[in-house]
Every structure is written in structure tokens, then in C-alpha cells.
């Protein structure tokens, strides 16, 4: 875990006694072990290990746009298609010992297995291919859920944007306003102009008439597997959104560029037909994600992640530049 992430999580903490009181609302048994998990920017997370019952995970929302109730809705949609998501035990609000307003909390039952990110080094080639193939199948099941709009789902059930053009126009406006954060010292005016041209090309040539439910953070740390590589759980729908089918795959490629995605795409494509232009759509979406995430991470001050994203954005630009001459 990076020093930056440690510093982020040091800014909040519910307190062990309050954590235990919340857990007593869902179990009369006291946990024999309570572990704080330092991961991600938005949630404070605790794992409670019991002697006679499954593990529970307590999550306290500190940042982010998606409420736990909306996240629970997305999880239930996935469950309806056979995706192995955790059971939601409790949802509510609690007073914050830091003196802030009430904060949302969610208690989940743990899933079996371990995160693929943790097991990856110990898995053999066959088990890795099994894990990626099955992860692709599970993502396709999530994507089989058609939604009526793009980006965030509002409490009333509508979505932020009705059309592909609308969400892409918003992205173009935001990236243009983040120019200084995207360019930094790495990219020239000409390169930034090329990036914006490619985003406009993505909007105009590769439309999306039917958005699907996207996980939004479909990474190996959120895909649980057993020692044989079989998927046992998909967790953390806190970034779910409506979008095109390539979005989740592009984010996986962005954050884990070392993965060979052949097995993943075989599983993903076995559940839904991939369009012929899917590889190009994938790279354009990776570019769009890299630009937005770079602007965010530079403003947050995460220098390690900023350097990584700069490399990814440079690679995207190199892969896609031939499109500009067509």
C-alpha cells in the first residue's frame, strides 16, 4: 500500500468501539478479529472475523457520488443474472465520532476465496486463464443488464445523461477544463489537441445507442477466486454506472496493462457478441479514462499514480494516432 493511500485513510476513522457497536446490530457474537482494510479513496472498511459465522465487512462512505443504497441496487441487478455478489446484511447511517454529519454504512457478508490480485502470483498458468475466462463471463452477465441512460443513476431511477452524445459532450467539456492537469510537464499542446480530437472521434464514429450496467471498477482486487482459479465473488459496485460495453474492459486494461486479456475476452465474448470495431472502441475508452483519471490523481497529489497514468496515456496516444490520418 502506498504512503499516499495511508495518508488519505489517516484523515478519517470511526473508532473501534463504534465499529463494534455497529457490528453488534447484525450479530450477537463479538468478532475474534477486527481488521481495517486500507484500500480505495471513498470508503473506510473493516473486516470482522468470527469463530462460528461468516466474515462481515463494514463499509463507511467517506467520499464518492454513489450512495450505498444505490450500490445495493446495482448488486441486486447483478445477482439477478447469476453474478456471485455479497449479501447485504444492513444499511444505515451513524453519527461520526470525528464530529461530521451522519455517515452511511453498509454491512456485507464476506464471499469465499481471495482477491485475484492477491492470488495472482501463486496461481499457475492454467488457473490464471480459468480465472480470467470466468471473470469475463461474469462481466458479460453484468453487462446483460440494459439501462436507460449514462453515467450515474439517480435515486428516482433516472440517469444523468439520456444519450451517448450527451455524456461524451460532458466528458469533452470536462477534459478541456482540466487541460493543465492532463498536460502537466509531460504532454505538449499538440498532443493534448490530438487527445481531444480522438475523444470527438469516439463520440462521432463509435456511438452507443444502448447503455448497459457497468461495474465501474472491475479490477483483480474486486474479483474473488479460489485456488483453482474459479470465480467465487464480485465485490465493490461503488463506481457502477451506465455506459458502453467496452468501459469495464478498458479500465481493466488501463489499470492492469500487464494482463494478457485473451482468456478474459474469450469469456466475455462467449456471453455476448463483440462488435468488429471492439478493439478500437476499447483503446478510445482507455484514452478517455486515462485523461480523466490523470487529471484527478494529479489534483489529489498522488505522484506515483500520476506517473503511471502518464505512461498509459502516452501509450494510448501512440496506439490511436493513426486514426487521426484516416
Shared domain for 90 and 131, answered yes or no, is: no
Same-domain check for residues 66 and 173? no
The pLDDT tens digits of the residues spanning 13-31 come to 777 888 888 888 888 888 9
Half-sphere exposure of 306 (CA within 13 A, CB side): 17
State whether 43 and 170 are in the same domain. no
Task: State whether 193 and 90 are in the same domain.
Answer: no
220-265, pLDDT tens digit by residue?
999 999 999 999 999 999 999 999 999 999 999 999 999 999 999 9
Distance CA(162)–CA(1), nearest Å, equals: 39
191 and 289 together in one domain: yes
CATH of the domain at 38: 3.30.200.20
How many distinct structural domains can be found in the chain? Answer: 2
**Same-domain status, 77 and 141:** no
Specify whether 120 is located in the same domain as 193.
Answer: yes
The 56-61 sheet, strands edge to edge: 33-37, 43-49, 56-61, 103-109, 88-94
23 lies in the same domain as 119: no
176 half-sphere exposure, CB direction, 13 A CA radius? 11
Chain mean pLDDT for the chain: 92
pLDDT at position 130 is 98
pLDDT of residue 103: 86
Pair (171, 256) in one structural domain: yes
Output the pLDDT for position 106.
Answer: 95
Q: Are 78 and 237 in contact (CB under 8 A)?
A: yes
Q: In this structure, are 138 and 84 located in the same domain?
A: no
Tell me the C-alpha distance between 226 and 214, whole Å.
24
Last residue of a domain, one of 86, 109, 132: 109
CA angle 75, 79, 84 (to 5 degrees): 95
Instruction: Identify the domain boundary among 109, 137, 162.
Output: 109
Q: Which domain holds residue 20?
A: 3-109
Report how far residue 236's alpha carbon sits from residue 230's, in angstroms, rounded to the nearest whole number: 19
DSSP code at position 87? P
Check residue 285 and give its pLDDT: 98
- Residue 23 vs residue 200, higher pLDDT: 200
Q: What is the DSSP letter of 110?
A: P
95 and 119, same domain (yes or no): no
Same domain, 160 and 181: yes
Q: What CATH number has the domain bearing residue 301?
A: 3.90.1200.10
Domain boundary among 82, 109, 136: 109
Amino acid at each position: 500500500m502506498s504512503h499516499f493511500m495511508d495518508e488519505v485513510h489517516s484523515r478519517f476513522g470511526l473508532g473501534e468501539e463504534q465499529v463494534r457497536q455497529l457490528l453488534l446490530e447484525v450479530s450477537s457474537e463479538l468478532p475474534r478479529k477486527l481488521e481495517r482494510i486500507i484500500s480505495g479513496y471513498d470508503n473506510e472498511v473493516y473486516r470482522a472475523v468470527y469463530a462460528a459465522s461468516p466474515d462481515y465487512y463494514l463499509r463507511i462512505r467517506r467520499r464518492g457520488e454513489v450512495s450505498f443504497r444505490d450500490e445495493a441496487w446495482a448488486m441486486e441487478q447483478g445477482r439477478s443474472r447469476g453474478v456471485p455478489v455479497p449479501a447485504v446484511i444492513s444499511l444505515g447511517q451513524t453519527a461520526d465520532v470525528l464530529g461530521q454529519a451522519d455517515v452511511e454504512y453498509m454491512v456485507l457478508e464476506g464471499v469465499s476465496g481471495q482477491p485475484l490480485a492477491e492470488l495472482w502470483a501463486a496461481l499457475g498458468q492454467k488457473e490464471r486463464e480459468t480465472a480470467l475466462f470466468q471473470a469475463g463471463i461474469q462481466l458479460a452477465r453484468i453487462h446483460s443488464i440494459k439501462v436507460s441512460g449514462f453515467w450515474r443513476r439517480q435515486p428516482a431511477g433516472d440517469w444523468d445523461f439520456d444519450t451517448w452524445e450527451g455524456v461524451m459532450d460532458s466528458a469533452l467539456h470536462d477534459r478541456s477544463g482540466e487541460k493543465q492537469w492532463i498536460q502537466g510537464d509531460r504532454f505538449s499542446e499538440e498532443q493534448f489537441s490530438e487527445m481531444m480530437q480522438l475523444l470527438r472521434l469516439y463520440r462521432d464514429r463509435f456511438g452507443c445507442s444502448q447503455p448497459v450496467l457497468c461495474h465501474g471498477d472491475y479490477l483483480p482486487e474486486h474479483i474473488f477466486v479460489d485456488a483453482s482459479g474459479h470465480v467465487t465473488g464480485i465485490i465493490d459496485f461503488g463506481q457502477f454506472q451506465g455506459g458502453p460495453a467496452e468501459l469495464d474492459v478498458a479500465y481493466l486494461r488501463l489499470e492492469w496493462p500487464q494482463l494478457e486479456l485473451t482468456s478474459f475476452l474469450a469469456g466475455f465474448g462467449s456471453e455476448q457478441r463483440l462488435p468488429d470495431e471492439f478493439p478500437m472502441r476499447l483503446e478510445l475508452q482507455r484514452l478517455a479514462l486515462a485523461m480523466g483519471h490523470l487529471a484527478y490523481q494529479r489534483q489529489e497529489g498522488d505522484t506515483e499514480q500520476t506517473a503511471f497514468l502518464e505512461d498509459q496515456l502516452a501509450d494510448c496516444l501512440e496506439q490511436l494516432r493513426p486514426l487521426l490520418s484516416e
